[in-house]
Structure 1
Amino acid sequence: MSAQFANRRKPRKIGGDDEENDADEQDSGPVVKRPQAIKTKQKSKMRLSFGPGGTSMTDEGDQESEVVIPKRTGLAKRALEKSALQRSLTPSGVGGQIPLRVGPEQDRPSYSSDYLKELRDSTPSTPKPAAEDESEKAVDVAAKFGEVMKVSTPAAIPSEAEIREKKARRARLAKEQGALSTEKDFISLEDDMEDDDWDLQGRREDIRDTRLIRDDEDFAEGFDEFVEDGRISLGRKAEKEQKRKQREEMRELIDDAEGLSDDEDSDLEEKAAYEASQTRAAMGGGKDHIDRPRTPPKMTSLPRLSNSLDRLRINLAVLEKSKAQMIDRMEELRKEKADIAVREVEIQALIKEAGDNYEKLKLDAGITPGTEENPSAADEIANSRGLEVQRSVIAFIESPIDEKDGDRPHLRRQSEATPIELFFDLFFVANLSSFTATHEINNIEALWAYIGFLGVIWFTWLQVTLFDIRFARDSIFERICKAVQLAAMVGFASAGTRFTTRVRAENVWAFQSLSLILGGSRLLLALQYTVNTIFLRRRMMPAARGVSLIAGTQFISSLTYLLMYYAFQQQRGLSPYIWTVWFALFGVEMWVVMGTSSATPGIGLQDTHLNTRMGLLTLIIIGEGVIAVTRIVNKTVGPGGWTKWSFVHILGVTTNVYFLWQAYFDLSPRRILGKYSQQIWAQLHFPFHVALILLLEGSQILALSLDITLKLLYLAETILWACEEPRPRPDHAIRILRTTIADMEIDYSRGAINEQIAITRILDDLPNHPLCPSYRTGQIPIIRDMLSDLVGNVTAALFSTMRIMPSNQTHPGNLSSDQLLQRYMALLQFVYVYYFAVASLTMFFFGGFVLLARRHTLRRCTSISATTRLTLGIVLASIVSFSRYFPLVYSFMTSPAILYAFTLTLLMVLLVDRSLDWYQSYSGRVQDSDVP
C-alpha cells in the first residue's frame, strides 16, 4: 500500500466480536496502571461522563476499568505521562477495547527503552504486544472527535449466542428496509475488505438520505487550539494564568447550572415556578387556611371647616396665580407682537431698499429683467413679505384663490398693505388737503360742507379698500382698474373746490361731476366683483354667491348715482339738499358689503388687514396735522423768529398731535376681532376721522388766533405807551408805531390790499393831529376813531394773512372796525365751540375703541379705562357752555391754556392706562406671593 493511503481510516466492524477474535485482540496503546498500595487521585468533576457502562472517567466502573494516573515526579516526566495518557486511555484487563489515539501517528511520542523498562517494572501486568495490522485497522476515535471524546466500554464480553442474535436481528432489519436501503447504508461486519474496495465503494456513493453521514476528514483540524487539557504550563506565571482560566470556566459552569445567565429567562421562570409550587405544597397549598376577621380600617375623622376653607383658599390662590401668569404671558406676547410689527415695517423697508440696490446692480451688470432664471421664486418672496414687485411677465387677470400647500381653496391673505394701496391712500389725503386749503371752517355751513365732501371721498375709499384687501392681485386688469380709481380721486379734487351744502346754479356742475364720478367708480367695482365671481364659481360656490350679491348692489348704486346726474340738472323743482341722498346710498353699500361678507364663508373680514388699512389712514390723517404744525411754524416764527410765546404755542399743538397718535395706536387691536366687532370698528372710523380732522384744524386756528391776539396786544400797548407820562415826542411815537406794524410782516397780497391802503392812510394822517390830545382841544373822538380803525384794519390784515376769514356775506371794507372785530370774535367763538365739541366726541370714540379692542385683560381695568374716557369727554363737552359768557371765553381763548386743555386730557388718559397696567402686574405679583 502506498504512503498516501497509510493514514486513511480502515473499516471495522461495529459491535462485539467472536470469542476467537476476542482472544486475539490487543490494545494498540500502552496502558499504565498503578499498584494498589498507591492512593488514587481524586478525579476532576469536569470530566465526569454519564453514558451507559463504566468508563475510565466514572466512579462506578470496575477496578479494571479505572484509569490510574501515575505520580508526576518531574516536569519532563509529567509531560511524558500526560502525552501517554492522551494517546491511550484504554483500561487494562478489558478485551476488545477500541484504542484511542491523540492526533496523527506522526505526532505520537516515542518511548525510550529505559522508560519502557521502568514502566514494565512498575506495572503488575504488562500489556500484550499489539499486532501491526490490528493497529492499522483500529478506528482512531480521538483523531476524529478530539480529546474530550468519551469511549464507553461494555461491562462484560457478549457471548456467542448474543452475537448470533444481534446478527440475525440486523439481517431482519435489513430485509425490512430493503426498498430504502442503498449501498452506502450497508455497514460490513467483516474486516477483510481492502482499502481499494472501500475507496471504490465510497466513490459510488451518491447524495441520498441515509442513516450515516460521512464527516469531513478535517473535522478536528485546529481543535487542539481550543482545548487546554493537553497544554503544559511552564513557569509560575503560566500556571497562575491557567488556574485563573480554570476558575473562570468553573464559575461559568456554576452560573449555567444555577440559571443566572440572562439568555435563559425561560429556565429562571421555570425554576421560580417550581420553587413557588414547592413552597405552596410545603405550606399546605392553601387548603388549611385559617379564617379570621380582617383588621378593621383606620377611621378617618371628619374634616374641619377651617381646614377645608384653608385648602380651598390655597387652591384658589394657586388658580389665581396661574391665571395671573397666563395674563402676564399674554401681555408679553402682545408687546412682542407689537414690537414684531414695528420691526416688520423696518425690515420691509430694508428689504425694499436691498431689492432696489439689487435691481440697480443687475442693470449695471447688463442683466435685463427678462433674463431672470426663477421668476416664480421671486413672486413667492414678494407674496411672503406683502409687497408687489415688478415681474418679467404679468398676467392679464389673476385668480384670487390660493391653493398651495394642499389646503382647501381660500382667498389669498396679506398681513400688510401693498404699495399700490398706500399710493391710493395718498390720493385720499391729497384731496383732503386741497379741500381744506380752499374751504375755511368759519361757520356752521362750511362745517357741514367739510363733512359732506369728506364723506364722499371716505366712503369711496372704503369701498375700494374692502375689495382690495380680499381680491386685488397684481395683474394688468387690476392696474387698469387702479388707474381709473386714481383718476376718480383727481376728479373729486377738481369738483371739491365748488362743493357747498346747497346746490346752486353756479355750482351745479360740481354736483353733477361728483355724481358721474361716483357712478363710474361703483360700476368699476361691480365689474371687478363680477370677474372674481367667475373665478370663485369653480372652486368656492358659497363665496361666489355672496360676491354676486355685492356686485349686484354696486351695479344698482351706480345706476342711482347716474340718475342723480339728471336730478341735479333739473334741480329747480327739487330741494337744494338733494345731494344728501348720497349718504343714504353710502350707508346701504357699506352695510350690504360688510353684512354679506360676514355672513358668507370664505370672504369674511376677520382674517384680512382691514385694521391695518384703517390704522394707516388714521396715521396719514394725523400726519396731515403734522403738516399743519409746520404751516403754523412758517406763519408765526418765520416773520420775526422764535419767541417764548411762539414756542409755547407750537409746543401745545405738537404735543396735541403726539398724544392723539399715542392714544389711538395704544388701542389698536392686537388680535382678530369678532364678526360684529370688526364691522363696528370699521364703521366708527368715519365719524372718528371727521372728528380727528376737525380737531386738528381747530387746534391750528386756535394757535394762529393766539399769535394774532399777542400781536394786537402788543400794538395796543404801543398806542398806550405813546400817551403815558413822560410822553415821547409825537414823531418818535409814530415811528415806533410804524415799526411795530412792520414787525408783524403782514402779507397784504393774501386778500388784504384794502386793509393795507387804510393802514397807510391812517399812519400818514396821524402827524396832522395830536397823538394824545386833551379834552380842551376837543380832538379826542377823532384820534380815538383813527386808532380804532388802525387796530381794526391791522386785525383784518392779520387774519387774512393767516387764511382765517369770516363768512363772505359782507365785505370787510363795508364794516366798521368794531363790527369787524365782532365778526372775528364770533368766528373765534364758533371755532371754540366746535373744537371742544369734536374733542369730546373724540374721547367718546376712544372709550368705544377700548371696549372693542380690550386693551386690558382684566375686566375691571377695561371698565375703568372706558369710564375715564367717557367722563373726560363729558368734561370737555361742558366747557362748550362757557361760550355764553364772552369775557370768560375771551380770557380763555387769549391764554395758551386753551391749547393744552385737550393735551392734558389725553395725558391724563395715558396715565390712567399706565396705572392700570401697573395694577395688573402688581396684582399678579401679590397673588404669586400669597401662594405657599
Structure 2
Amino acid sequence: MLRDASIYERMGDRMSQIGLGRGLTGMSGRDPNETHRSATPLELLYDLTFVVAFGMAADQLAHMLAEAHIWEGIGGFGFAMFAICWAWTNFSWFASAFDTNDWLYRIMTMLQMIGVVILALGLPPMFHSLLSLEAGGSLDNRIMVAGYVIMRVAMVAQWLRAISQAPKHRRAAVAHASFIFVAQLGWVTLALSDPPPATVLAMFPVLILLELAGPVLVEKRHGGTPWHAHHLAERYGLLTIIALGEGVFGTVASVSALVEAEGWSTEAVVTILAGVGLTFGLWWNYFITPSAQVLAHHRRRAVVWAYSHIVTYAAIAATGAGLHIVAYTIQGSSHIGTLGAVTAIAVPVLIFEIVLFALYTFMMQEFDIFHIALIVATILLIATAVALAAFGSSIGLCLIIITFSPAIVVVGYETIGRKHAAEALARTLA
C-alpha cells in the first residue's frame, strides 16, 4: 500500500509539472534570468499551424508570379506575411514573459491556433481579389481578417489576465492590450465597410504602424515585460527552421516536375543539390549572429531585432515560392520563363543576406569591413545567375550559382569571420 501511495504521489507531482490536475496559476511574470529556459511542447505545437500559413502564402505568391501578376503577388504576399509573422511575434513575446502552462493559458493558445488556420484559409480569396481591383473590384480579406482578429482577441484576453494578476507589469500589459484592441477595430472596420481600393491602400500602412508602435512604446515608456532573451532567440530560430521548410517543399516540387517531364537526369540531381544546398546555406547564415547573448545584455535592441525577422521570414518563404515557380516553368505553365523563375529565387535570397548583415551590424553596434567583401561577392554571384538565365542557361546551373551565395558567407565566417565575431561579441558584452 505504501508503495502504491508513493506511485500515486509521483504521478501527481508529474501532472502538476505539466499543468494537469491543478487550478489556474497566477500570471505574475516569468523570471527573465531563469536558467535552462527553452521552448515548451505547447509552443512547438502552436508553431505547427505556421507551417500551413507559410506554405499557403508561398504557394499563392508562386501562382501569382508564375502568371505574371508581379505586383499583385508581391503586395498580397507582403500583407499576408506581416499578418502571419506579427501574430506569431505577439504570442511568442507574451509567452516568454507570462507563460503559466495552466488550462486557461492552453485554451487561449488553442484559440489562437484556430485563428491561424482560418487566416491561412483566407489567403487564396484575398490574393485572387487583388486581380479584380483594377476593374473596380474590392479586396476580399474578410476570412483572413476574421482569423487574424480571433488570434488577436485571444491575445487581448491574455493581456487582460496579466493586467489583473501582474501588478508589477500592469502599465505594460494595459498598453499592449490597448494597442491590439484599437488596431483590431480598424481591421474589422476596413474588412466590413468594403471601401474603395485607394482607401484600403491608404489605411493599410496606418494600421500596420499602429500595430508596430505598441511594443516600441511599451519597451521605452512602460518598463517592458519580463521576456527571456535565450528563450526568444530559440523561438525565433525554430520559426526560421519552419520557414526554411518551404525551401525543401519547393525543391521537391521542382524535381518532381523535372522527373515527370524528362525522367531522372543530371538536371534533376543538380536541382536537388541546389535546392537543399541553398536551404542549408540560409540556415547556416542565420545562426551566425549570437542573438541570445547580445539580447541578454542589451534588451533595448530587441525591438529592431524582432521587427527585422518579419522581412527575414518573408524572404525565406519567398525563396521557397521561387523554387515552386521553377516547377511551374519546367511544366510549361509559367508565363515568366527561366529568367523570371531564377529572379524569383535570386531577389529574396539577396534580401535575406542584406537583412542578415544589417542585423549583425546593429546587434554588435559596429561594422566589420570584411563584410563588404562578402556582400560584394554575394551580389556578384546572384547577378551572374540572373545574367546566365537571361542568356538561356539551364535552371539547374543558375540555381547552383545562387546556392554558392550563402556558401560564400559560410566560408568567410568559418575562416575569418568567426574570430571577428568572437571579438565583436566580447566588446559588445563589455
Question: What range describes the TM-score normalised by the shorter chain of this pair?
Answer: 0.7 to 0.9
Aligned to 1:841: 351
Given the superposition, is the C-alpha separation of residues 413 and 557 from structure 1 closer, same or farther in structure 2, using an over 3 Å criterion?
Answer: farther
3-state SS of paired residue (1:497): helix
Identify which range, 421-430 or 907-916, moves more after superposition: 907-916
The equivalent of 1:898 in structure 2 is 398
Q: CA deviation at 1:618?
A: 0.6
Number of residue pairs aligned between Structure 1 and Structure 2: 410
**2:225 paired with 1:603:** yes
The one of 153, 158, 165 aligned to 1:523: 153
Q: Give the 3 Å change call, closer, same or farther, for CA 827–398 of structure 1 in structure 2.
A: farther
Give the 5 Å matches for 1:156-305.
none
**Which residue, out of 625, 634, 655, partners 2:277?**
655
Are the equivalent residues in 2 in contact too, given 1:453–1:496 (CA < 8 A)?
yes
1:395 aligns with 2:23: yes
Q: Does 1:693 align with 2:335?
A: no
The structural deviation recorded for 1:453 is 1.7
What is the one-letter code of the residue matched to 1:430? V
Q: Quick check: 1:487 aligned with 2:111?
A: no
Paired with 1:918 and 1:668, the residues of 2 have a C-alpha distance of 11
The CA distance in 2 between the partners of 1:452 and 1:638, in whole Å, is 34
SS of 1:415's partner is coil
For residues 493 and 677 of structure 1, what CA distance do their matches in structure 2 show? 31
> Is 1:470 the counterpart of 2:92 in the alignment?
no
Structure 2 match to 1:300 = none
Matched with 1:556 is 182
Counterpart code for 1:459: W
Report if aligned partners of 1:394, 1:474 keep a CA contact under 8 Å in 2. Answer: no
Deviation per CA, 1:279-316: give whole Å up to 9, x if none. xxxxxxxxxxxxxxxxxxxxxxxxxxxxxxxxxxxxxx
Match in the other structure for 1:373? 9
Secondary structure at the residue paired with 1:686? Answer: helix
In 2, Cα distance between equivalents of 1:647 and 1:525: 46
Name the residue aligned to 1:159.
Answer: none
3-state DSSP of counterpart to 1:875: helix
1:511 is aligned to 2:138: no
Specify the code of the residue in structure 2 equivalent to 1:912.
G
Alignment of 1:659-808 (within 5 A): 659-673=281-295, 674-702=298-326, 705=329, 708=330, 798-800=331-333, 805-806=334-335
Give the CA deviation at 1:690: 1.2
Q: 2 CA distance for matches of 1:458 and 1:879?
A: 32
| Equivalent residues of 2:172, 2:218 under 8 A apart | yes
Distance in 2 (alpha carbons) for counterparts of 1:461 and 1:652: 30
The structure that is helix-richer by fraction is: 2
Question: Aligned partners of 1:632 and 1:555: how far apart in 2?
Answer: 43
Q: Secondary structure at the match of 2:24?
A: coil
Deviations 1:253-301 (A, max 9, x none): xxxxxxxxxxxxxxxxxxxxxxxxxxxxxxxxxxxxxxxxxxxxxxxxx
CA contact (8 A) 1:653 1:703 kept: no
Shift of 1:520: 3.5
- Report the counterpart of residue 427 of structure 2 in structure 1: none
Q: Using a 3 Å threshold, how does the CA distance of structure 1 residues 469 and 893 change in structure 2: closer, same or farther?
A: farther
In 2, the alpha carbon distance for the partners of 1:495 and 1:482 equals: 20
Letter aligned with residue 400 of structure 1: S
AA aligned to 1:875 is L
Residue of structure 1 equivalent to 2:416: 916
Closer, same or farther: CA 400–525 of 1 in aligned 2, 3 Å = same
Q: Deviations over 1:578-619 (max 9, x none)?
A: 166345323322331244135444615463622211111111
Tell me the equivalent position of 2:428: none
User: Which amino acid letter does the alignment assign opposite residue 900 of structure 1?
Assistant: I
SS in 1 for 2:165: helix
The answer (yes or no) to whether the contact 2:29–2:166 under 8 Å persists in 1 is yes
Task: Give the aligned CA root-mean-square deviation in angstroms.
Answer: 3.6
Query: Would the aligned equivalents of 1:413 and 1:607 in 2 still touch at CA under 8 Å?
Result: no
Pairwise CA distance, 1:430: 0.7
> Percent identity over the alignment?
17
- Select which of 839, 844, 864 maps to 2:369: 864
SS of 1:587's partner is: helix
Matches within 5 A, 1:532-611: 532-537=162-167, 540=168, 543-568=169-194, 571=195, 574-575=196-197, 578=200, 581-601=203-223, 603-605=225-227, 607=229, 609-611=231-233
- 1:7-46 alignment runs, 5 A limit: none
TM-score, length-normalised on structure 2? 0.82
Number of the residue aligned with 2:84: 457
Aligned mates of 1:592, 1:684 — CA distance in 2:
16
Whichever residue aligns with residue 524 of structure 1, its letter is A
Tell me how far 1:634 sits from its aligned partner: 3.0
Q: Structure 1: how far apart are the matches of 2:302 and 2:152?
A: 23
Letter in 2 for 1:910: V
CA–CA separation in structure 2 for the residues paired with 1:506 and 1:420: 44
Classify 1:519/1:507 alpha carbon distance in 2 versus 1 (closer, same or farther; 3 Å). farther
- Tell me if the contact between 1:519 and 1:557 (Cα under 8 Å) persists in the aligned partners: no
Maintained 8 Å contact 1:519/1:560: no
Alpha-carbon distance in 1 for matches of 2:25, 2:227: 23
Q: Structure 1 unaligned runs (5+)?
A: 1-366, 383-388, 403-408, 709-797, 807-825, 883-887, 924-932
Return the alpha-carbon distance in structure 2 between the equivalents of residues 920 and 449 of structure 1. 40
Closer, same or farther in 2 for the Cα pair 1:911/1:881, shift >3 Å? Answer: closer
Code of the residue aligned with 2:155 in structure 1: it is L
TM-score by length of 1: 0.40
Q: Does 1:645 align with 2:271?
A: no
CA distance in 1 between counterparts of 2:418 and 2:294 reads: 25
1:132-152 CA-partner distances (Å, limit 9, x unpaired): xxxxxxxxxxxxxxxxxxxxx
1:633: how far off? 3.4
Relative contact order (C-alpha < 8 Å, sep 6+): which is higher?
A: 2
Spell out the pairing of 1:43-122 with structure 2 (5 A cutoff).
none
2:138–2:197 Cα contact (<8 Å) kept: no
Give the aligned residue type for 1:593: P
- The reply to whether residue 832 of structure 1 matches residue 342 of structure 2 is yes
* SS state at 1:372 partner: helix
Partners of 1:696 and 1:843 lie apart in 2 by 15
| Residue 420 (structure 1) aligned with residue 42 (structure 2) | yes
Q: Is the radius of gyration larger for structure 1 or structure 2? A: 1
1:880 shift after superposition:
8.7
Contact 1:526-1:555 within 8 A present in 2 as well:
yes
CA contact (8 A) 1:519 1:559 kept: no
User: Contact 1:837–1:880 at 8 Å: present in 2 too?
Assistant: no
Task: Tell me, in whole angstroms, the C-alpha distance in 1 between the residues paired with 2:211 and 2:400.
Answer: 40
User: Contact between 1:454 and 1:690, CA under 8 Å: does it hold in 2?
Assistant: yes
Gap runs ≥5 in structure 2: 424-430
Q: Distance in 1 between matches of 2:419 and 2:60?
A: 49
Hey, what's the Cα distance between the residues in 2 that align with 1:558 and 1:448?
A: 21
Counterpart amino acid of residue 369 in structure 2: I
| Residues 661, 411 of structure 1: alpha-carbon distance in 2 compared, 3 angstrom cutoff | closer
Change beyond 3 A, Cα 1:586–1:840 = same
Distance in 2 (CA, whole Å) between partners of 1:918 and 1:554 is 41
Aligned to 2:426: none
